[in-house]
Amino acid sequence: MSEPNFPSPEELQKKLSDFMKTQFGNHVSVSTQVSAAPEEAGGPGSAVGTGDEVFEFRHLPRDIKAHLDRYVIRQDDAKRVLAIAVCDHYNNVNYMRKLEREDEKKARETEYTKQNVILLGPTGVGKTYLVKHIAELVGVPFVKADATKFSETGYVGGDVEDLVRELVQGANGDVEMAQYGIIYIDEVDKIASSASTMGRDVSGRGVQTALLKLMEETEVPLRAPNDIQGQLQAAMEFQRTGGKPKRQTINTRHVLFLVSGAFEKIRGVIERRVRQGTIGFAAPPDGQQGGEMLEHVTTADFVEYGLEPEFIGRLPVRVVCRELSVEDLFEILQRSEGSIVRQYERAFRAYGIEVFFEEAGLKRIAELAAVEKTGARGLLTVCERLLRSFKYELPGSGANRFTVDVGLIEDPEKRLAELLEQGQRALAEELAAVAREFAQRLASRHNLKVELTQGAIAKLVERAVAENIHMRDLCAEVFKDYEFGLKLAEGTTEPLILTEEAVGNPDRYLSEWLVKRYRADRRTGEEQMASKSVDLCGDSPAR
């Protein structure tokens, strides 16, 4: 069969654009930006699988933990367990890649059970944060999604595969690199089929099955079947490259899967098992609570909870993240490199405002955040509530520093009002200085004395603020005719006192002053003349 006769990429784009215009008007445009061509991505010089490696895993578990310690407070068990799982996984990837180069057949036959991880723990305690920092350190693409997203759409399988395609985007189009990425799925407790209460929940089960397929090994098409633009791009690339065979799928064999969930109600399952005296792998002693109880979770508990045995079976590494105490939250603010305190300092600095967080203030914020019961997320909630109006009101108000202390936290509105008032005063002072400087320059250019009264300054400041213009521009505008007018009075010793009235009606004020000066000068001239003639008269008899 002969190849279909494809139009050139330009023709195709034009045809597509015309079609879109007739269908949707000018609201839709067609972009033909092609992400890195898949076959190029894995080609010579790319990161993985070529021999000249950019991605070479060389970390030790203790290095990973040390890296995580910089950002994540507590969760030591999780850090250790994740560090080991990640090292095992990527060491195996190193080994397999080497083997694939040396002996492809043996590589295919080599068995390896992936160390996919399930993280249990409440919201906002650092689960995602841990995974994100691990992916960053290892240098692999990382994708996160909520498991609930898949059940909501109803279109199960395809959406789950989108996760894998997103890895390619995360790897800037590098398909090979994407195959070593990390996929993190939160809220997996929500896709448990609620077997014990209301019969099997089909959609949750469907999502589990779809995920299971990915976790094992599957080839995911690079372009989603419903991605028409992607398909067209593929056609254009096909045309452009003269139909070279190219890689069209992503293999999930080496993708590391991490899943997590709060599993609130699984405690009940564990407790029941303990009470009924079922002999679990590690039955917890009576009286244990919360996180401690979760640590004793068994596969049977997960199955009882509603996870499919095959699904939970693909998640052999289990670890619990603990709830964060007030002290932990305080430490996050103070010590974590990713602390939101740094974020707030940066945000205010962008407006030239320095913010200082006092230790006692941080402690109070941690206490308020703990009440929110959303882990470290509560810190942001509290800070936003406290500082939102500061972020809006302070920039441009003249205030250039403030301290977050207990007083501010107790009554933020009062502190804001004080800061704004101080800011206004500082701003007015600054503007007044500019106005005085303007008067000074005018004076020195004309060899005169020029002064602004307090009333004149107040009026100028009021106008500069109200009209939102620079003081220098305002003065130049108000006194624009003075440059010329004052030439007529150069060298006058009598100072020009600019009053509030001068600001209101500058030209009349100037002309009246000039007339006054002129008259005064004339009078002085006449008086001098007169005294000279008196002198002359007075002298004559003596001659």
Binding positions for ligand ADP, rule: CB under 6 A: 72-75, 123-129, 332, 336, 338, 375-377
Query: Which of 126, 170 has the CB closer to ligand ADP?
Result: 126
* Dist CA 357 CA 192 (whole Å): 43
CB of 138 to ligand ADP, least distance (A): 17
Query: Which of 93, 119 has the CB closer to ligand ADP?
Result: 119
CB of 297 to ligand ADP, least distance (A): 17
CB of 178 to ligand ADP, least distance (A): 23
* Dist CA 502 CA 508 (whole Å): 8
Coil, strand or helix at 250: strand
Helix H or strand E segment including 319:
strand 317-320
Q: The tokens of 41 are what?
A: 């991505």
CB of 366 to ligand ADP, least distance (A): 12
Query: Which of 129, 513 has the CB closer to ligand ADP?
Result: 129
CB of 316 to ligand ADP, least distance (A): 21
* CB burial string 377-388: b at 16+ within 10 A, e below: ebbbebbeebbe
CB of 121 to ligand ADP, least distance (A): 6
Coil, strand or helix at 399: coil
Cβ atoms of 218 and 293 within 8 Å: the answer is: no
Half-sphere exposure of 441 (CA within 13 A, CB side): 11
CB of 220 to ligand ADP, least distance (A): 25
Query: Which of 126, 506 has the CB closer to ligand ADP?
Result: 126
Query: Which amino acid does the sequence have at 422?
Result: Q
Query: Which amino acid does the sequence have at 329?
Result: L
Query: Which of 291, 407 has the CB closer to ligand ADP?
Result: 291
Torsion of CA 128, 264, 290, 277, to 10 degrees: -130
Query: Which residue has the CB atom at the shortest distance from ligand ADP?
Result: 126
CB of 377 to ligand ADP, least distance (A): 5
* Dist CA 108 CA 179 (whole Å): 16
How many other C-beta atoms are found inside a 10 Å radius of the C-beta of residue 157?
14
Torsion of CA 507, 510, 515, 521, to 10 degrees: -160
Query: Which of 338, 407 has the CB closer to ligand ADP?
Result: 338
Query: Which of 125, 307 has the CB closer to ligand ADP?
Result: 125
Of 394, 395, 410, the closest CA to residue 360 belongs to 410
Half-sphere exposure of 416 (CA within 13 A, CB side): 15
Query: Which of 75, 179 has the CB closer to ligand ADP?
Result: 75
